[in-house]
Amino acid sequence: MNAELRDLYQEIIIDHNNNPRNFRAMADASIQVEADNPLCGDSYRLYLKLAQGRIVDISFQGSGCAISKASLSMLGERLRGASRVQALALFEAVHALLTGETQGDSSALLGELEALAGVRHYPMRVKCASLGWHALKQGLAASAREIGDRV
């Protein structure tokens, strides 16, 4: 990774950490998921509002390190309006990015999320970056059990 790209990635993470998108509680959420990473002290709650198989609203609250917060901020920005299938596809792409198992070129799908790639050499930070995404997957699975085919 060249220095220019690294600086850009760092800027994206700092921006999302300082100005997290969708950082609020949601009173009428369909699903709420706790996302905790005690090793780092990251502790969030992810809110999902689902209708007709889509994420119509998404938000989060809590506190933690810059990586975890930036990751959740980008997650929400990318997934508002997404279908369950699109959300799970993005989860898989991010998971592959963070574990270094990327197959083919998923840059187009990942976009800004590629800024998280730098953590893959630091197992502790991989947990921070993936925290919100595991909560998302858990939330979608829980909603499927609860609401069945309508979501």
Amino acid at 132: G
| Minimum separation from the CB atom of position 129 to Zn ion (A) | 8
**How many helices, marked H, and strands, marked E, lie in the chain?**
5, 3
Give the whole-angstrom CA distance, residue 41 versus residue 101: 27
| Residue ranges binding Zn ion (CB under 5 A) | 40, 42, 65, 68, 128
Amino acid at 120: R
User: Of 69 and 78, which has the nearer Cβ to Zn ion?
Assistant: 69
User: Of 40 and 82, which has the nearer Cβ to Zn ion?
Assistant: 40
| Minimum separation from the CB atom of position 76 to Zn ion (A) | 17
Please, are residues 136 and 91 in contact by the beta-carbon 8 Å criterion?
yes
| Minimum separation from the CB atom of position 108 to Zn ion (A) | 28
User: Of 45 and 49, which has the nearer Cβ to Zn ion?
Assistant: 45
